[in-house]
Amino acid sequence: MVLALEHAQAGGLSGQIRRIPSSVALGYGHEDQQSLADATPDGPVYRDAGGTDTLDNGPHGSTILATGPSLARPRAVGYPSAVRVPIVAILAVGGLLGQVDQQRLELAGSEPQNWLTYNGTYFSQHYSQLDGIDLSNVVDLELRWVYQAESTDKFQATPLVVDGVMYVTEPPDKLVALDPASGREFWVYHHELPERIYPCCGRVNRGAAILGDTLYWGTLDAKLVAVDAATGRKVWETTVVEDYERGYALTVAPLVVNGKVIVGTAGGEFGIRGYLAAYDAATGEEAWRFYTIPGPGEPGHETWENDAWKTGGGSIWLTGSYDPELNLTYWGVGNPAPDWNPDVRPGDNLYTDSVVALDADTGKLKWHFQFTPHDEWDWDAVQIPVLVDLDWDGVPRKLMLWGNRNGFYYVLDRETGEFLLGRPFVKQTWAAGLDENGRPVKIPGRGPSREGTKTWPGVQGGTNWYAPSFSPSTGHFYLSVWEGYYSIYYKWDQDYEPGMRYLGGSPRGPVSSTRRTRFMTYTEEDGYGAVRALNPLTGKVVWEFAMTDVTDSGLLSTASDILFSGSREGHFYALDARTGELLWQRYLGGQIAASPITYKVGEIQYVTVASGHALFAFALPE
């Protein structure tokens, strides 16, 4: 819900507060228009003739506010015709109610009309209890609106939906508030980037977080910014990395826990020393820091030789999970550097390619599990930690499900880090198996070489950063996979130079690693994409939905046993989560490299996904 003012005064926000659905259009003209300064104190407003206002946020930032006749729409029933209120004022008053506190975040699954975190809930199951779109009517889904981004950068963001407002990050430098029922902009916050930035794999941003009435998001010049959710005005800004020119960036959607905003640093391909850090949500002051590459005297430093730890990588670029009962937050850690010449970094190279369990209040390490010690193939372990409570051998356990880039599916005890199960879920030729502790038994000669080594899976792995899903309804674990996909891995000598890519080699193969190509030039023998449903307790495949091309799409399951997915070709699918049967599809024309979400406005359930450079929203006919 958003709030409108009834009998509002032209000079201020006095008057009775009236609840109206956010789906109801609010119109206004120039007459009796309230000053935006009342809704956005402490910042000058610059009015444009085209129907927008620009709010100066000081260094690095500005906010564009939706005002003026260009956005005039039918007014709400019962709304005084003589008074029109700017959208930003409506949102400002709306912020007085329904703030997102810690309890709401912990119980996010109980309000499925919203999508309160990057992964939906702290358990990161990408599952919704909404059931209005079901097996009988999903075939009737129709397009409701499209939000076209100004940028042609990769759109990998997952939106938040909070009490009738959608918040989405638009690459490379914008945070946008939208009407989730129409796609109309409320405001746009623009972070001014320097001329040169250092993202590894595209100028992307994967999303924001919320606490109270404040949004938090990271930038490609390694800053953390707090923005007022009602007005789009900057609240504070803190520098996460001073010397970002060495290859640091923030692409991850933050995770808010107990009044702290947790983010991590991207840049593993530049030889950074990665870390996670928590910042006070009210002030932006750093509360704790955990280095993913341990220094001298820190546990794990013995897994590095010489000074390789100084340029060891270990980036963080996907959002972690949180167990409130244990007060542990779980994060996957990226690859070591250099990527493909492991000779210069002997040892296991902790905590790269690991999941780390940290005390959310202090950042202290509780346990870790390393999936690929001494990684030679660039198989980041940044995949989403999916938390479930299931019986294991007849005993209730707190579990973590993990489809890893290295091609193995894992089950861990998330309280202790104990290895419970490991099983390949795609073709892999680098390991003979896993030992009793889950450590891979590597096959000699399968790493990069100067003449090139053909190894399965390829550099993008059996799966990657695209979100998996767990459905309590079906009991299945779902993930997007690249089956039969390989790379030929090369290595060479390379010296480290600050701010330059530090790779030590390169993978090559017929399948493009990150970008959709205009025409497919490879065959099924080179690999294909699929959605697979696994039995979470055994890792065995229950069903597969195969695609022509590979897939970069995250997954979403619902209480009505619908599973939403997408393909690199641009197809958006609805599958029967029980069987994998295709129920509905639409061609959106652009690569889908983000996760779909679902939410509800009034009585209408929507499903939204990014494709190409736009955000598409679908719903059933009214």
Residue 612 confidence (pLDDT): 93
Query: At residue 12, does pLDDT exceed 60?
Result: no
First to last CA, the chain: 20
Same domain, 79 and 138: no
Bridge partners of residue 145, in order along the sequence: 617
Last residue of a domain, one of 55, 72, 94: 94
Residue 199 confidence (pLDDT): 75
Residue 41 confidence (pLDDT): 36
Q: Which domain holds residue 11?
A: 2-94
DSSP secondary structure code for residue 525 in this structure: G
The tens digit of pLDDT for each residue in 221-243 reads 999 999 999 999 999 999 999 99
Residue 152 confidence (pLDDT): 82
The angle subtended at Cα 302 by Cα 300 and Cα 306, nearest 5°, is 125
310 phi, psi to nearest 5 deg = -65, -25
The tens digit of pLDDT for each residue in 448-478 reads 999 999 999 999 999 999 999 999 999 999 9
Strand locations in 333-385 (E): 354-359, 365-370
Name the pTM for this structure.
0.88
Q: In the chain, what percentage of residues exceed pLDDT 90?
A: 77
Do 493 and 502 touch, CB atoms closer than 8 A?
no
Same domain, 220 and 187: yes
Same domain, 523 and 398: yes
Mean of the pLDDT values across residues 153-170?
Answer: 94
Residue 87 confidence (pLDDT): 55
Same domain, 509 and 594: yes
The tens digit of pLDDT for each residue in 285-319 reads 999 999 999 999 999 999 999 999 999 999 999 99
Residue 54 confidence (pLDDT): 58
Residue 29 confidence (pLDDT): 28
Residue 28 confidence (pLDDT): 27
Rounded CA separation 123/128 (Å): 12
Same domain, 131 and 6: no
Residue 485 confidence (pLDDT): 96
Same domain, 389 and 243: yes
Query: At residue 44, does pLDDT exceed 80?
Result: no
Residue 9's pLDDT band, with cuts at 50, 70 and 90, is: very low
What would the two tokens of residue 406 be? Answer: 């290295």
Residue 52's pLDDT band, with cuts at 50, 70 and 90, is: low
Q: Pick from 450, 534, 539, 514: which is nearest to 488 by CA?
A: 450
Number of domains making up the chain: 2
The tens digit of pLDDT for each residue in 374-414 reads 999 999 999 999 999 999 999 999 999 999 999 999 999 99
Do 551 and 568 touch, CB atoms closer than 8 A?
yes
Least confident of 139-153, 186-200, 222-236, 248-262: 186-200
Query: At residue 610, does pLDDT exceed 60?
Result: yes
Same domain, 66 and 208: no
Same domain, 428 and 408: yes
Helix (H) or strand (E) holding 143, with range, is strand 142-148
Residue 53's pLDDT band, with cuts at 50, 70 and 90, is: low
Residue 36 confidence (pLDDT): 32
Same domain, 90 and 204: no
Helix (H) or strand (E) holding 105, with range, is helix 102-106
Do 588 and 611 touch, CB atoms closer than 8 A?
yes
Same domain, 435 and 350: yes
The tens digit of pLDDT for each residue in 170-187 reads 988 999 999 999 999 999
Query: At residue 592, does pLDDT exceed 60?
Result: yes
The single-letter code of the amino acid at 261 is: V
Same domain, 349 and 466: yes
Residue 7 confidence (pLDDT): 27
DSSP secondary structure code for residue 42 in this structure: T
Last residue of a domain, one of 35, 67, 94: 94
The tens digit of pLDDT for each residue in 488-532 reads 999 999 999 999 999 999 999 988 877 777 777 777 888 999 999
Query: At residue 30, does pLDDT exceed 90?
Result: no
Last residue of a domain, one of 67, 94, 121: 94
Higher per-residue pLDDT: 201 or 321: 321
Average pLDDT value for the chain: 87
Rounded CA separation 140/591 (Å): 23
Residue 361's pLDDT band, with cuts at 50, 70 and 90, is: very high
Residue 302's domain is classified under what CATH number? 2.140.10.10
Q: Is the peptide bond before 351 cis (omega within 30 degrees of 0)?
A: yes
Q: Name residues whose C-beta falls within 8 Å of residue 444's C-beta, 6 or more positions apart in sequence.
A: none
Q: Point out the catalytic residue in the list 323, 348, 378, 380.
A: 378
Query: At residue 58, does pLDDT exceed 90?
Result: no
Residue 84's pLDDT band, with cuts at 50, 70 and 90, is: very low
Is 131 designated active site?
A: no
Same domain, 86 and 136: no
